[in-house]
């Protein structure tokens, strides 16, 4: 894959991870990085309980700023997969953060994506963590 950079405004009311995934698919990205800032009407953040090896979800039921959104693109189950983490701030500036789950409703968002050259980077289930991590040497 050739390197590609793009910038996009994401639609009002859309789901953040879904809209980023749509962009990834439309541009045939199989490995790369994502940055996103803006604001959300509400959010859902994941926290991985390492002992239990499972995610719990924190619902943020108020408008928040995306103070920072950082992610990456790789392949999972044969499809491009967006892995995104968010730091969200409320009106008092206090922040919460975590793994972006379905349910982050966009108010306004600007994304910058960079697709990197090279073979698709593939996620595989890792026994030690229970997570789908990049294959070694990817
Ligand atoms: Zn994560």
The DSSP output letter for 20 is H
* pLDDT at residue number 6: 97
| pLDDT for residue 137 is more than 70 | no
Q: Calculate how far, in angstroms, residue 55's C-alpha sits from the geometric centre of ligand 1.
A: 10
| Spacing, Cα 61 to ligand 1 middle (Å) | 20
pLDDT band at 2 (very low <50, low <70, confident <90, very high): confident
How far is the centre of ligand 1, averaged over its atoms, from the C-alpha of 7 (Å)? 22
Separation of 85 CA from ligand 1 center, angstroms? 6
Closest CA to 111 of 25, 31, 20, 24: 20
Q: Is the pTM of this model over 0.85?
A: yes
Q: How far is the CA of 32 from the centre of ligand 1 (A)?
A: 15
- Going from the C-alpha of 13 to that of each of 16, 41, 46, 83, 103, the distances in angstroms are 9, 8, 20, 20, 10
Those residues whose beta carbon sits under 5 angstroms from the ion ligand 1 are 99
Q: How far is the CA of 45 from the centre of ligand 1 (A)?
A: 9
Query: Residue 32: what pLDDT?
Result: 97
The CA 27 to ligand 1 mean position distance, Å, reads 23
pLDDT grade for 138, boundaries at 50, 70 and 90: low
CA 84–ligand 1 middle distance (angstroms): 6
Contact 105, 117 (CB under 8 A): no
Give the chain's radius of gyration (CA, Å).
Answer: 15
> What is the model's pLDDT at position 77?
95
Q: What are 8-47's pLDDT values in tens digits?
A: 999 999 999 999 999 999 999 999 999 999 999 999 999 9
What confidence tens digit (pLDDT) does each residue in 52-83 have? 999 999 999 999 999 999 999 999 999 999 99
Q: What separation in Å is there between the alpha carbon of 8 and the centre of ligand 1?
A: 22
Per-residue pLDDT band at 136 (split at 50, 70, 90):
confident
């Amino acid at each position: 894959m050739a390197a590609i950079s793009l910038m996009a405004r994401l639609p009002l009311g859309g789901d953040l991870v879904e809209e980023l995934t749509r962009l990834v698919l439309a541009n045939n990205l199989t490995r790369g990085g994502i940055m996103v800032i803006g604001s959300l009407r509400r959010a859902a953040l994941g926290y991985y309980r390492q002992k239990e090896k499972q995610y719990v979800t924190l619902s943020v039921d108020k408008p928040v700023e995306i103070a920072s959104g950082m992610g990456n693109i790789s392949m999972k189950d044969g499809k491009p997969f967006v892995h995104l983490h968010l730091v969200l701030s409320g009106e008092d500036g206090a922040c919460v953060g975590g793994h972006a789950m379905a349910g982050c409703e966009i108010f306004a968002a600007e994304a910058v994506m960079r697709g990197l050259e090279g073979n698709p980077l593939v996620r595989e289930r890792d026994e030690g963590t229970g997570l789908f991590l990049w294959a070694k040497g990817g």
